[in-house]
């Protein structure tokens, strides 16, 4: 069966499993007392619905940001084997900052090799979970200000070697939790050669994992900054770096592009309008037609925001979030008619306070209206227990989704990913095989 012709319909076994899904949700909601945050709910694994979502074949994760991919426990485990990563053991606000220090180089005051610091008890897992995630949010800052300090603590990926090792750990983790394909948004700083060297290191990590997992695949999206205080020249050079990577770093094993899309990131409410970059982005995709725009927009509560209409003007193939589309209802048909996929990240939206209760999240309305949609994890390292599982759990629990709905969301992640048609077809066949096995073993 071709993935293009596939239509979601439940067979008899799936209909029985759908009833089980409802029962698991009822069981969870009976014990639910109004607050859900995967970082706080350490007992999620006790929950039958969560385990169901863990084993559910979810396909691909199409919206994640580099250096925010490994959940805390996984990240700690990885750091323990990295002799060149050091951590600042002094006080906040720098406490917990990571740096890569080459063998033999002087160690700055206050820094200690991570494995030593962790074994010596300078940090507990609980403390790291607090200072490396949104759990550590405090009343003296906005949540985004805190969020950005977490990124500042993770500025250790300063050599190609560490980039390669980190991403290999990320890819192996994704393989282990059953995800078949991921698309990572990376910032393309530096000279074009430096940016290409970073992309090559990520590709090498992907190839290393592909040796044992030939079905697993990875794509990059090159991202620039859109903060209003960042010079347009900086954003332009980041986009040019992305073009350079697109041209020079290919997935030669699959014969496909490796960097497939462009985006601009940052907190939307402190950024320039997307239209400010319209000329730049339009030029990039006009000169490189195989590159597509996948634009963050609508990640805001501002009633006057026009980021969704501005992004749609640029003809993206996907949009990141699109949370406040409800303020532009006339554009729902544009999204549907042009088959533009919405990358919805429910847990991220909750933890960054765009919604305080997932039952009020507008995406369920978009989904019911038939708008193309996937679930994605955004910055799982700083927001989640298990990448994507938390998002499927949140949607299954609070949006009253059926098994057919979950199946459609998983299928969409393959349908709307950026792999070639051939790769999508084999990804789809593997996903279907896993799905059938899941149905049989979960009944």
Residues of this chain that interact with Zn ion (CB under 5 A) are 378
Q: Which has the closest alpha carbon to 311: 326, 322, 323?
A: 322
Q: Between 14 and 268, name the residue whose CB sits nearer to Zn ion.
A: 268
Question: For 70, which DSSP code?
Answer: S
From 88, 108, 61, select the one nearest 345 (Cα to Cα). 61
Q: Which is nearer to Zn ion, 24 or 221 (CB)?
A: 221
CB of 50 to Zn ion, least distance (A): 23
Which neighbouring-strand residues pair with 112? 87
Q: How far is the CB of 322 from Zn ion (least distance, A)?
A: 12
Closest distance of CB 321 from Zn ion, Å = 7
The two structure tokens encoding residue 342: 């919405």
Pairing of strands 111-113, 85-88: antiparallel
In angstroms, what is the minimal distance from the CB of 51 to Zn ion?
A: 27
> Whole-number minimum distance, CB 83 to Zn ion, in Å?
32
Cβ 354 to Zn ion, closest distance in Å? 12
The Cα-based distances of 353 to 137, 140, 147, 383 in angstroms read 11, 16, 12, 12
Straight-line distance from the first to the last Cα atom of the chain, in angstroms, rounded to the nearest whole number = 25
The residues, ordered by sequence, that sit 6+ positions from 397 with a Cβ below 8 Å of its Cβ are 25, 28, 29, 32, 36, 49, 358
Q: Give residue for tokens 């533009």.
A: 340
Give whichever of 47 and 412 is closer to Zn ion, judged by the CB atom. 412
Neighbour order of strands in the sheet with 98-100: 98-100, 85-88, 111-113
φ, ψ dihedrals at 404, nearest 5°: -65, -40
State which residue, 14 or 379, has the beta carbon closest to Zn ion: 379
Say how far apart CA 212 and CA 208 lie, in whole Å. Answer: 8
- Min CB(45)–Zn ion separation in Å: 26
- Which CB atom, from 378 or from 386, has the smaller least distance to Zn ion? 378
Nearer to Zn ion by Cβ, of 64 and 87: the residue is 64
Nearer to Zn ion, 180 or 377 (CB): 377
Which residue is closest to Zn ion by CB? 378
Within 13 Å of residue 294, how many CA atoms lie on the same side as its CB? 28
**DSSP label of 358:** G
């Amino acid at each position: 069966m071709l993935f293009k012709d596939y239509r979601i319909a439940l067979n008899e076994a799936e209909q029985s499993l759908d009833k089980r899904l409802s029962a698991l949700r009822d069981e969870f909601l009976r014990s639910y007392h109004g607050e859900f945050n995967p970082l706080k709910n350490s007992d999620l694994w006790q929950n039958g619905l969560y385990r169901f979502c863990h084993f559910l074949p979810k396909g691909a994760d199409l919206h994640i940001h580099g250096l925010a991919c490994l959940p805390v426990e996984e990240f700690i485990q990885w750091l323990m084997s990295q002799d060149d990563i050091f951590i600042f053991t002094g006080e906040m606000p720098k406490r917990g900052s990571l740096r890569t220090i080459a063998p033999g180089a002087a160690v700055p005051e206050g820094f200690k090799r991570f494995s030593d610091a962790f074994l010596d008890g300078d940090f507990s897992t609980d403390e790291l979970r607090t200072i490396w995630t949104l759990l550590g949010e405090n009343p003296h800052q906005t949540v985004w200000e805190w969020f950005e300090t977490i990124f500042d603590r993770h500025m250790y990926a300063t050599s190609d070697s560490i980039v390669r090792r980190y991403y290999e750990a990320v890819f192996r983790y994704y393989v282990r939790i059953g995800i078949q394909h991921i698309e990572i948004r990376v910032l393309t700083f530096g000279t074009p050669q430096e940016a290409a060297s970073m992309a090559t290191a990520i590709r090498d990590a992907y190839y290393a994992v592909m040796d044992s997992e030939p079905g697993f695949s990875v794509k990059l999206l090159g991202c620039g900054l859109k903060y209003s205080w960042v010079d347009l020249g900086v954003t332009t050079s980041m986009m040019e770096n992305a073009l350079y990577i697109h041209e020079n770093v290919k997935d030669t094993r699959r014969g496909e592009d490796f960097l497939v899309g462009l985006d601009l990131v940052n907190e939307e409410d402190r950024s320039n309008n997307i239209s400010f970059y319209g000329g730049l982005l339009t030029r990039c995709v006009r000169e490189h037609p195989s590159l597509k725009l996948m634009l963050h927009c609508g990640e805001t509560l501002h009633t006057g925001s026009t980021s969704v209409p501005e992004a749609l003007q640029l003809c993206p193939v996907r949009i990141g979030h699109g949370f406040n589309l409800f303020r532009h209802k006339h554009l729902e048909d544009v999204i549907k008619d042009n088959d533009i996929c919405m990358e919805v990240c429910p847990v991220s939206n909750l933890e960054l306070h765009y919604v305080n209760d997932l039952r009020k999240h507008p995406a369920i309305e978009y989904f019911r209206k038939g708008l193309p949609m996937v679930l994605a994890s955004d910055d799982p390292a700083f927001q989640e227990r298990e990448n994507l599982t938390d998002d499927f759990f949140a949607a299954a629990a609070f949006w009253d989704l059926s098994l057919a709905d979950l199946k459609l969301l998983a299928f969409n992640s393959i349908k709307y990913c950026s792999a070639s048609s051939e790769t999508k077809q084999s990804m789809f066949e593997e996903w279907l095989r896993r799905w059938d096995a899941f149905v049989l073993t979960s009944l």
